[in-house]
């Protein structure tokens, strides 16, 4: 099986050399989630900077069954062409090229012309310096926009909640996490696996939670976590005889680590499938060690949406981990 394993404990916000204090403009932002509007001098843009930006912000999102970009560039204009309308885009990448910039760097500002809004400004002394900086730091630039998208998603999510399910999650694995309204409890037949589902006509979002005894450091490797998750998901099945849910062996698996709310989580993302049935989609799991109980607690988000773009629907799910405490 093709596999990509990396260990990364970092915060993309460290890239920002300056963060402007959020303003409170009265105008509402325009544009759809994961769209970005670019402000850049036309001559610089047409000198090859456009392709660099498209590659950077349009990089493929890891772990999805079909190619989808982190962000989509909807348009580009120079400062002199801007109207009030363009300034209201929710995500703006501004590229400022001037000899006054001693070196290339980046700044991020929130809610400057509208809200919610994220403006990422790349400052560089020359076009070539801007190209090099964006090529080298494209992932971090996407990460800055991602923080904005995550915050917006969580604001929308917190407008409703499922307190009963949140209490069940707390009792099951000892972790508080927001669960928005619309989810209901499903039955896998295995009490050790807690399963919540939000079902639509042609799509469904899933949340699974379980814990496993911690024995030694090998329990937190990518290979061990993959086997553990496969064993846990095997109790989930459809109406087809012999069917069961598992991690797809034909898609890449990405493993990383991150710190969220002062807790280290081991993230695994890839695709799931149901053996002997035609179902599947992306998943992302987060596992953390509880030293007091000596257990590994795992929350797994999965999506079934074969007819829709999946980046946003997965974001709605996985951003919930940032509410976990």
How far apart are alpha carbons 154 and 150 in whole angstroms? Answer: 6
Answer whether residue 12 shows pLDDT above 60. Answer: no
Q: What percentage of the chain reaches a pLDDT higher than 70?
A: 93
Answer whether residue 247 shows pLDDT above 50. Answer: yes
pLDDT at position 239:
86
Which among 107, 112, 96, 106 has a CA at the least distance from the CA of 29? 112
* pLDDT, tens only, 28-40: 999 999 999 999 9
**pTM for the predicted model, two decimal places:** 0.90
Burial (CB count <10 Å: 0-12, 13-18, 19+), residue 207:
buried
User: Going edge to edge, which strands form the sheet with 91-97?
Assistant: 18-20, 105-110, 118-124, 91-97, 35-39, 72-77
Calculate ∠ Cα 178-179-185, nearest 5°: 145
pLDDT at position 177:
98
CATH assignment of 12-157, given 3.40.50, 3.30.56, 1.10.10, 3.30.379?
3.30.379
* pLDDT, tens only, 200-230: 999 999 999 999 999 988 888 999 999 999 9
How far apart are alpha carbons 9 and 274 in whole angstroms? Answer: 32
Token digits of residue 55: 């590659």
* pLDDT, tens only, 293-324: 999 999 999 999 999 999 999 999 999 999 99
CATH 3.40.1000.10 fits domain 163-323: yes
Beta-carbon contacts of 137 under 8 Å, excluding residues fewer than 6 positions away, are: 15, 106
Which among 139, 182, 190 has a CA at the least distance from the CA of 159? 182
Task: Write down the mean pLDDT value for the chain.
Answer: 92
* Residue boundaries of the structural domains of the chain: 12-157, 163-323
* pLDDT, tens only, 76-118: 999 999 999 999 999 999 999 999 999 999 999 999 999 999 9
């Amino acid at each position: 099986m093709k596999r990509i394993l990396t260990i990364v404990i970092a915060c993309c916000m460290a890239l920002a050399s300056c963060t402007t204090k959020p303003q409170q403009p009265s105008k509402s932002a325009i544009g759809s989630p994961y769209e970005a509007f670019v402000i850049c001098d036309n001559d610089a843009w047409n000198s090859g900077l456009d392709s660099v930006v498209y590659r950077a912000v349009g990089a493929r999102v890891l772990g999805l069954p079909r190619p989808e970009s982190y962000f989509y560039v909807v348009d580009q204009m120079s400062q002199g062409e801007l109207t009030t309308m363009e300034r209201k885009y929710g995500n703006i990448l501004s590229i400022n090229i001037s000899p006054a910039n001693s070196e290339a760097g980046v700044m991020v500002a929130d809610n400057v012309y509208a809200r919610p809004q994220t403006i990422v400004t790349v400052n560089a002394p020359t076009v070539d310096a801007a190209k090099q900086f964006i090529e080298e730091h494209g992932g971090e630039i996407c990460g800055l926009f991602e923080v904005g998208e995550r915050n917006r998603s969580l604001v929308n999510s917190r407008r409703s909640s499922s307190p009963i399910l949140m209490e069940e999650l707390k009792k099951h694995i000892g972790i508080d996490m927001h669960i928005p309204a619309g989810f209901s409890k499903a039955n896998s037949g295995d009490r050790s696996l807690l399963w919540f589902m939000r079902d639509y006509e042609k799509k469904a979002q899933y949340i699974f939670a379980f814990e496993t005894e911690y024995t030694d450091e090998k329990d937190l490797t990518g290979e061990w976590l993959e086997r553990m998750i496969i064993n846990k998901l095997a109790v989930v099945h459809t109406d087809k005889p012999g069917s069961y849910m598992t991690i797809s062996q034909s898609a890449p698996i990405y493993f990383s680590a991150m710190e969220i709310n002062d807790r280290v989580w081991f993230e695994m993302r890839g695709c799931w499938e149901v053996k002997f049935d035609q179902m599947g989609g992306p998943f992302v799991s987060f596992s953390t060690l509880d030293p007091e109980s000596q257990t590994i607690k795992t929350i797994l988000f999965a999506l079934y949406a074969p007819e829709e773009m999946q980046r946003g629907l997965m974001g709605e799910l996985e951003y919930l981990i940032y509410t976990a405490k």
